[in-house]
Structure 1
Amino acid sequence: MDLVNNYGSSDEEDNVQTSNVNTVSSVVKINAAPETGFDDHSSGNLYTAPTATELIVNVPYDDMNRPTLGPENPFTDRRLATQNVINGHVETQAISEMDFRTQHRTFETYGYARDPSLSTATNLAGQTGQGLMGTGYVGNLAVAAELGGASILDRVNRDLRPNKDAKQKREKKGKLEEVDGPNAYKGPWAGYEDDNVGVPTGLDQEQIEEVQAMQAPPKAAFSVKNVAQETNTESTIFHGASERDYLGRTYMAVPQDIDTNLFGEPGSQECFVPKKLLHTWEGHEKGVSSIKFFPKSAHLLLSGGMDNQIKIWDVYHDKSLLRSYHGHTKAVRDIAFNNDGTKFLSASYDRNVKLWDTETGQCIRTFSTGRLPYCVTFNPDQDKNNIFLAGYSDKKIVQFDTNTGEITQEYDQHLGAVNTITFVDDNRRFITTSDDKTMRAWEYDIPVVIKYIAEPDMYAIPAVTLSPNKKWLACQSLDNQILIYGARDKFRLNRKKRFAGHLIAGYACKPGFSPDGRFISSGDSNGNVWFWDWKTCKILKKLKAHNKVVTCTEWNPHESSKLATCSWDGLIKYWD
């Protein structure tokens, strides 16, 4: 801005005379930008301290976004994150494709190659300069020194090449007139020296046995073995009028002269809570520990008792005792059918697990590890139905093959006796419970726990039942309540579902589900049967069923309100 000290008006412009006198004026310069402290910025670079928090100059945008000058720091976290890998330390090296292929062929031919990561120029003799090593070599350095560090593309003296084939000498053709002997005529068929033509070669017997032992697949070294001994003391008694009817059918045939469709889908009809007693099966001299309906049709009922016997009963028609199976010398603890019901397993306190033919009563095979079997179950997969798992008192789950009688797998992680084994998740996994107050999930045929469930307030779980929709596990806990766990990937406790009110007082009372999943039932230590609503968890009914502990409740899959119960009083009752 210019400030002039001569002022005038527009009216006086006409009266002003032109003169040669110069007008004197004073000019004041005003700079709005502060002093920067740098007089010369001609270099175009800006120098600031790395720790500076403010700038005293107006920095252009291009200068502010320039990369940091100086060498790259090799120890920054970002760089080390890409260099430090599981297998070691990785550094990027640049090498041309042609040079890489040349060195690769050199290494395959001569056994050495130039190392591009070395920056030294030391030759094989330890001298520095234009030595034969160039930037260093890797591999067979002796051959590299012998060949002068030549690559596959360089010309090398033939005599210096490694592994050169020595020319073999030809054998003499022999004399034409001789047929046998050292000078026999060989002619053009004469071989070379030391080619062992006609000399028998091969491995001796010891070497053959060593090779066969190395090639043989290793056998699984399990700590337990099947030590069962065949006693041939098993027997069976048929209690019916005749083993076959007029059409030649045994009791295994599904009856079709009743109103119930025994081939229907379980749970297809609405279920109700039973109210009255239909029938009582009497035959066991002592308590009944377990009952199982015949698979799919449920027209037969299998029971295992503390009188060492196993019995099968008719559910329809006259509801009579059909066959008894004798063979165990102590109480039977658990029983299990295979998929089609033609065979079943029985676990007893005599330390044996026996496989029976349901129709003929013949004992097919006996399995034992010398320990007490507490539970048995078949693999539900149709192609693996010859495999069954047994939980033992020595904290192990042992996997048997019924075809061979051999042990195929062993699961050893529990710290107490194994009480239950339940297959879940499309039979790919199974859940086990134990006296160590834990639940463990396993992948089938893999002896590693995939889920470990243990809480400080957990009690032992002696009985488990899978829901009809295969989504939930009803676990009878010894703190007088039934807990619900998910049967899928999470295996979590469903805290919204808790069924309580009954007393089991240390007994293994197996719960039961109605076929449609609406109700859950369980016995107690006083001989009562309790019914709860699945959705609301409310008690629906308390039924006085037996005089002693009710150990098992089994719902008929094809009837709307039929329930079978067994007790320590030796009775099996059928309710509707």
Structure 2
Amino acid sequence: MAGYARGTGRVPTGYAAETFISESTFRQGHRAIESNPNAASKKRKRENKGDVGIVSGPGAYKGPWARYEEERPDAASDEEFGDDEEVEIIYEEDEIEENPAPAPKKLAGTDYRDDNAEGETSEFVGSQQYDYQGRTYMHVPNDLDIRLTGDRGDFTNYIPKKHIHTFKYHTKGITQTRFFPDSGHLLLSASADSKIALWDVYHQRELLRTYSGHTKSVNDIDFNPAGTQFVSSSYDRYMKLWDTETGKCLNKFTTGKTPHVVRINPSTPHEFLAGMSDKKILQYDVRSGEIVQEYDHHLDAVNTITFCDENRRFVSTSDDKSLRAWEYGIPVPIKFIAEPYMFSMVRSAPHPSGKYIAFQSSDNQIVVYSSTDRFRQNRKKSYRGHNVAGHAPDVAISPDGQFVSSGDTGGYVCFWDWKTCKMYHKIQASDAAVLAVQWHPRETSRVVTGDANGMLKYWD
């Protein structure tokens, strides 16, 4: 028992000396003997400490953490086997070390994966790829009651009144729409479901082709002036150049940062600008795939890029609540505007006259800046009455320059008069935020809208 062994002298099993054992030491020893009676009779062996140079697997270094042989969970006693038989003892730890199958990595909200693993694919899903003359959908149709080629002449726009068609394919919010340049007989849509879709605007109004290859939300698209190619940008940090007709991915570009806006220069269609999340605007040459110029003066993510002055200059806005104007190809701003009352400007649209640019400001208004030499704000022009907080609804100006239109977080599409700044009309286009708005370049009153549910609606 615990305590002092009183007295000294002979006892039946030998000679007893006075000593002291603490309660905890006695209990620990007692439990060890009860659980393994052999432990008291023989000295326990430890496993080999292993080789310092081996990190994992058989013979790996265990050091002071080497276990006692009796502690092995499935160790078999030597008595069960003859002396000549080899006993192979398999440890669960060794199995894990020898076959290190990596656990599937869970992506955090801000993590990105390289999309090289997923190839670019495109599929024609229309009813007829070629007409009786062997022409694809790229051919502008002539069998309509509206002329889609040549000079438009005197052109007057009107505000649409009714919903005439719904384009259904996307499963998540529409982020951007683009009509085919000049003719508008095709419609390109980008979505948060990582897909890009091409639609027939006339005839059956069907889905013609899908473009897959991005792994995250596609946030911007832009046609070249001929419409034969378009560039897309996505939150997977890639920008990709596509062939509109074949769906082939011609080139892809990345710096490891997220592109927020891409714009092909209409005067130099083999080059495009990309506004990045790391404050830079990059100028790419699609022929070589190289960056040929870098505009690095913004202090936060770049949101908009708008060409002006016959594409010799462009204007950019950023989350740093400023506006900068640049000469194309020269990386030093020619104008810098940052006033205390300014908010981030998240979307933009040039006026057809070429003299102004309208910007969607985060304080629930559309503001206008001149795009000529002075680049000053036109204080008389401010379009209010819609809500954009928390989203970045597109802003669009009618081809005749008479109307300004914008989406709204309440599901409306709003129309203002360019001259008087009064809101003409408000259409309930969806029960979700309307993020994309575009005027048809040839029709007098046709507008397409895209909402956060992935629905594209066509209005007349």
**Where does the alignment leave 5 or more consecutive residues of structure 2 unmatched?**
1-113
Q: Of residues 265, 289, 292 in structure 1, which corresponds to 2:151?
A: 265
TM-score by length of 2: 0.74
Query: Is 1:559 aligned to residue 446 of structure 2?
Result: no
Superposition deviation, residue 568 in structure 1: 0.6
Equivalent-residue separation in structure 1 for 2:192 and 2:206 (angstroms): 20
The answer for the alignment partner of 1:27 in structure 2 is: none
Superposition deviation, residue 569 in structure 1: 1.2
* Bigger mean CA offset, 509-518 vs 301-310: 509-518
The answer for the alignment partner of 1:200 in structure 2 is: none
Query: Is 1:236 aligned to residue 122 of structure 2?
Result: yes
1:500-558 deviation line (CA, Å, top 9, x unaligned): 01111131111111111111111111110111111111111111001111112101111
Query: Is 1:574 aligned to residue 458 of structure 2?
Result: yes
Q: Of residues 168, 183, 187 in structure 2, which corresponds to 1:282?
A: 168
Equivalent-residue separation in structure 2 for 1:229 and 1:287 (angstroms): 21
Equivalent-residue separation in structure 2 for 1:266 and 1:367 (angstroms): 37
Superposition deviation, residue 267 in structure 1: 7.1
The answer for the alignment partner of 2:262 in structure 1 is: 376
Maintained 8 Å contact 2:115/2:214 = no
TM-score by length of 1: 0.59
**Where does the alignment leave 5 or more consecutive residues of structure 1 unmatched?**
1-227
Q: Of residues 329, 332, 348 in structure 2, which corresponds to 1:448?
A: 332
Residue 573 of structure 1: SS of its match in structure 2?
A: strand
Superposition deviation, residue 242 in structure 1: 2.7
Equivalent-residue separation in structure 1 for 2:153 and 2:295 (angstroms): 34
Structure 1 residue runs of 4 or more that deviate by more than 4 Å after TM superposition: 228-232
Residue 345 of structure 2: SS of its match in structure 1?
A: coil
Maintained 8 Å contact 1:267/1:557 = no
Equivalent-residue separation in structure 2 for 1:366 and 1:248 (angstroms): 30
Of structures 1 and 2, the larger Rg is shown by 1
After superposition, the Cα gap between the structure-2 partners of 1:468 and 1:265, relative to the gap in structure 1 and judged at 3 Å, is farther
Superposition deviation, residue 300 in structure 1: 0.2
1:321-370 deviation line (CA, Å, top 9, x unaligned): 00000100111000000010000011000000000000000000110000
Equivalent-residue separation in structure 1 for 2:450 and 2:154 (angstroms): 26
Equivalent-residue separation in structure 1 for 2:194 and 2:457 (angstroms): 20
Equivalent-residue separation in structure 2 for 1:245 and 1:492 (angstroms): 51
Maintained 8 Å contact 1:266/1:515 = no
Equivalent-residue separation in structure 2 for 1:356 and 1:425 (angstroms): 28
Equivalent-residue separation in structure 2 for 1:479 and 1:232 (angstroms): 39
**Between structures 1 and 2, the one with greater strand share:** 2
Equivalent-residue separation in structure 2 for 1:265 and 1:330 (angstroms): 40
Superposition deviation, residue 266 in structure 1: 4.8
The answer for the alignment partner of 2:201 in structure 1 is: 315
* Percent identity over paired residues: 53
The answer for the alignment partner of 2:214 in structure 1 is: 328
Maintained 8 Å contact 1:267/1:516 = no
**What are the equivalent positions in structure 2 for 1:350-369 lying under 5 Å apart?**
350-369=236-255
1:122-163 deviation line (CA, Å, top 9, x unaligned): xxxxxxxxxxxxxxxxxxxxxxxxxxxxxxxxxxxxxxxxxx
Structure 1 counterpart of 2:385, one-letter code: G
1:396-449 deviation line (CA, Å, top 9, x unaligned): 001110001011000100000000111111111100000000000011111001
Equivalent-residue separation in structure 2 for 1:387 and 1:427 (angstroms): 12
Query: Is 1:416 aligned to residue 297 of structure 2?
Result: no
The answer for the alignment partner of 2:314 in structure 1 is: 430
Maintained 8 Å contact 2:343/2:363 = yes
Query: Is 1:396 aligned to residue 280 of structure 2?
Result: yes
* Bigger mean CA offset, 392-401 vs 235-244: 235-244
Query: Is 1:501 aligned to residue 385 of structure 2?
Result: yes
Q: Aligned residue pairs: how many?
A: 347
1:45-93 deviation line (CA, Å, top 9, x unaligned): xxxxxxxxxxxxxxxxxxxxxxxxxxxxxxxxxxxxxxxxxxxxxxxxx
Maintained 8 Å contact 2:365/2:385 = yes
After superposition, the Cα gap between the structure-2 partners of 1:375 and 1:266, relative to the gap in structure 1 and judged at 3 Å, is farther
Equivalent-residue separation in structure 2 for 1:397 and 1:270 (angstroms): 36
